[in-house]
Structure 1
Amino acid sequence: MTPHAARPIPPAAGTCPRRRRGLLAAALLAGAGLSAAWAADPAPAPLPVLSPGAKPVRVGFICPLSGGSGDFGNSARLGAELALKEINEVGGFLGRPIELVVRDDKATPDLGRAAAEELVRKEPVAFTLGYCNTGVAMKSLDVFQEQQHVLVVPVATGTAITAKYPAKDSYIFRTSPRDQIQAAFLVEEVVVRRGLKKIALFADTTGYGEGGLNDLKRFLAEKGVEAVQISRFDLGVSSLANELREAQAAGAEAVIAYSVGPELAVLNASRAAAKYTGLVLGPWPMSFRTVWDKSGGAAEGAMTVQSIVPDLNNERRMSFIARLKRHAGDTPIASLMAAAQTYDALHLTMRAYFQARGESGPALKKALENLQRAYTGVVTTHAKPFSDEDHDAFSGNMIWLAQWKKGQLAYVYPDDARKAAVIQRKQK
């Protein structure tokens, strides 16, 4: 599967197309220390171009593009395609085009592993971006690790993904906020910031739900709080009204739910039937367009952890959203967060690839752990995203609380919009 045909992309606000391309080329080349002149001159001429017939740099991409998780898998694909297009516009990798080698894992662990085997052992590709579902990722990690092949996870958030191997030995990196920090953030919000003590926990029976539930229980226990109710449910559940009635009867002031888009839509749609009056919060899948649409707007007021929130006052983000929508055409963008994190992941990893002078494996791993120049992304500015002790790009200060309001996501706290526009340095 090849990327969609190129579509024209508008420049960033206040930046002409040629200058924007020049700045991107300078960042890529300077990241490898290959062109001091480019780094010093913001508008060099001529711009780098792709060499006709040059062998492409192939990048693996594995996500669910069909089935129940296709909404955020296709959003991630759109982000990767947009980044690839921009990099190729400024000459790719020293004249070699970047090419995505795409595989659909259908949110199925065995298919995810088969895709990993194919890309790493048979294709092969220089590195891989992949996985939206924690269970699918966990099934596949040892393929990348055994072959010393860099996997950058831009979407899946299960805490275990980057904990399976010690960072000093691991080839697994992540540019999404792991559930451990999302769960801590949610507990801090309801228990500390809002002073609520009666919390109900809802979680699906997948590995993702199990991991999130365990994180929530641990952080609640650290605050001296025990959940008044814990409800588990399978994917495909049609109603959670009875469970919400039980939560209401137990006096739950807030429900924190760990699941994916369709089931979180069911949870929100069940609120009215159950007459549940407390808060509803969840990790980042609560932001999927599916949640609003399939709940018939019943998600109004539901809160979610986000790494990026649309903000008309942030030119960099709004320019990215405009370019992404132009590239997507009629394809719906179900998850801005999945698209933006994947866009940043490809740009960031290509800078490391330049720094590694086109070498994969151990050299690319080392470059990611010792990135020489900051990457100014659309989600955040990554200065030192990774080290040989930490392969997660996010810390708790880099995420925000958003809320569904009339079909759109907005910051719960207006002051967060100001903070999000400032570089949030990763904390240890």
Structure 2
Amino acid sequence: MNTPPSLPSPSGAERTDASAVRIGALVPLTRPGWVEAGQHLLAGMELAVREVNDGGGIAGRPLELVVRDTAADPQRAAAAVDELAGLGVAAVAGEYHSVVARTAAARADALGLPFLCSSAVLDALTEQPTEWVARLAPAQSHGWQIYADFLLGAGHSRIAVAAQPSVYWASGTRILRDYLAPRGGTVIELDMRALTPTAVCDELVGQRATALLLLVGHPDPAVSIVKAVRRDRRLAGVMMGAPAGQPEFAEWARSLGDDGAAIPFLRYLPERFGPLGVRVETALRERLAESPSFVAFEGYDTIAVLAQVLRSHGVDRARMAEGWPRVAVEGTRGQIQFSRTPGINVWQWVWAPVQVVDRDPVDPDRLRVLHTG
């Protein structure tokens, strides 16, 4: 991929316009974070900031991002929220990794700092109800149940999950098991702390699984597992899936080539864009020098929402937080409004569009929509 669209400023080294309205941006830009997701998220945010400023800014004041790299580290994110609050940002936004976003949300809630979460899906983004946090991405339970419906519709009832230890992966496994069991499905958990990719193949044969879901990190061990399954003749009929969305990014295709095709994943885009989405897609493609992922659109929509809240309620943090339920913004993927949703403790957009998509085996650069929810 080309040079990232932006790099985070060193701590305390911002050169800012004193009149600017500042928003803190939390993005993973270095390993072990998913760097490509961070780059796409930031590209969307930066594009929207540029457009806000081209349109006169916030009541004549420029909008400015203060970027911090979380590197998928929850403690680093918490420290960044503390620092950004001290720098006087009106709000914080962003983050891709659910476990990191959860820590950032807790810290923002404790500080009384508005946080608009762009891309993380963990249902329990905060342990207690909060007025300070809102989210664009659909909750994991919503998206992963749609994915489970796709599995059942495709004839898969014995489903193995290759899982690493993580609150996020454990939550996904639980959602699948609870949803599939009453519908005749079985979830077989394979602990990747104890199994090699070859051993995973043996387990799939022994358990008579017809699908394997990759609830693991990329590139390792996801790439090794995919290659092992593809090369095992016993598993020619086994479908692999990655509900967390790893195959969305070009890095997946570069790592796996043809082996990375026909592995369905979730993405949060409409079947067809409206005029705004078409225009933004063109601008993002030029900015990224590749096809923009759904994460880039989440970044753009994040700033579109915050810009409206700032115009309507000013830069006072408490007034901004009071504004979540009154948001009505045309986003790239539909009309965005926030509400209270059972089981979710933050203000939630209900819902971003959900698709199950894969890379076409004939042309792995082309994405096919297999199912919508």
Q: Which has the larger radius of gyration?
A: 1
Higher strand share: 2
Which residue type is aligned with residue 400 of structure 1? Q
CA shift for structure 1 position 307: 0.8
Q: What pairs up with 1:302-313 in 2 under 5 angstroms?
A: 302-308=263-269
Correspondence 1:366 to 2:322: yes
| Residue 400 of structure 1, CA deviation | 1.1
Offset of 1:413 from its aligned partner? 4.0
d(CA) in 1 for partners of 2:303, 2:134: 12
CA contact (8 A) 1:62 1:129 kept: yes
Q: Is the partner of 1:209 in helix, strand or coil?
A: helix
User: Partner amino acid for 1:165?
Assistant: Q
Matched, 1:378 2:349: no
Instruction: Please report how far the alpha carbon of residue 291 of structure 1 lies from its aligned counterpart in structure 2 after TM superposition.
Output: 2.0
Matched, 1:85 2:85: no
Q: How has the CA–CA distance of structure 1 residues 328 and 282 changed in structure 2, closer, same or farther, with 3 Å as cutoff?
A: closer
Does the alignment pair 1:412 with 2:365? no
| Alpha-carbon shift at residue 363 of structure 1 (Å) | 1.4
Q: In the TM superposition, what is the alpha-carbon distance from 1:54 to its structure 2 partner?
A: 6.6
User: For residues 31-180 of structure 1, what are the structure 2 equivalents within 5 Å?
Assistant: 55-68=19-32, 69-120=34-85, 122-161=86-125, 163-166=126-129, 169-180=130-141
Kindly provide the CA deviation profile for residues 55-111 of structure 1, in whole angstroms up to 9, marking residues without a partner as x: 000000011111132111111111100000000000110110000000111111221
The 1:297–1:310 alpha-carbon spacing in structure 2 relative to 1, beyond 3 Å, is farther
Q: Is the 8 A contact 1:349 1:368 kept in 2?
A: no
| 1:202 equivalent among 151, 162, 170 | 162
Amino acid at match of 1:402: V
How far apart are the structure 2 equivalents of 1:295 and 1:310? 26
- Runs of 4 or more consecutive aligned structure 1 residues displaced over 6 Å after TM superposition: none
Q: TM-score, normalised by structure 1?
A: 0.75
Deviation at 1:351?
0.9
The Cα shift of 1:209 comes to 1.5
Kept after mapping to 2: 8 A contact 1:264/1:291? no
Q: Secondary structure at the match of 2:259?
A: coil
Instruction: Quote the residue 1:273 is aligned against.
Output: 231
Cα deviation 1:175-217 (Å, max 9, x = unaligned): 11221112211111112x2342211122222222222222222
Question: How many equivalent residue pairs?
Answer: 350
Q: Distance in 1 between matches of 2:334 and 2:217?
A: 24
What amino acid sits opposite 2:268 in the alignment?
S
Find the counterpart in structure 1 of residue 12 from structure 2. Answer: none
Q: Are 1:319 and 2:259 an aligned pair?
A: no
Structure 2: which 5+ residue stretches go unaligned? 8-16
2:349 alignment partner, one of 375, 393, 414? 393
Question: Is 1:183 the counterpart of 2:144 in the alignment?
Answer: yes
Q: Is the 8 A contact 2:132 2:321 kept in 1?
A: yes
Give percent identity, aligned residues only.
Answer: 19
In 1, are the aligned partners of 2:339 and 2:350 still within 8 Å (CA)?
no
The residue type paired with residue 306 of structure 1 is R
* Aligned equivalents of 1:209, 1:159: Cα separation in 2: 12
Deviation (angstroms), 1:393: 1.3
Q: What is the Cα deviation at residue 348 of structure 1?
A: 1.2
Matched position secondary structure for 1:103:
strand
Q: For residue 360 of structure 1, report the CA deviation from its aligned partner.
A: 3.3
C-alpha deviations, 1:273-328, integer Å up to 9, x for none? 233222222222332222222122211111111112686x8654343222012223
SS in 1 for 2:181: helix
Kept in 1, the 8 Å contact 2:28–2:96? The answer is yes
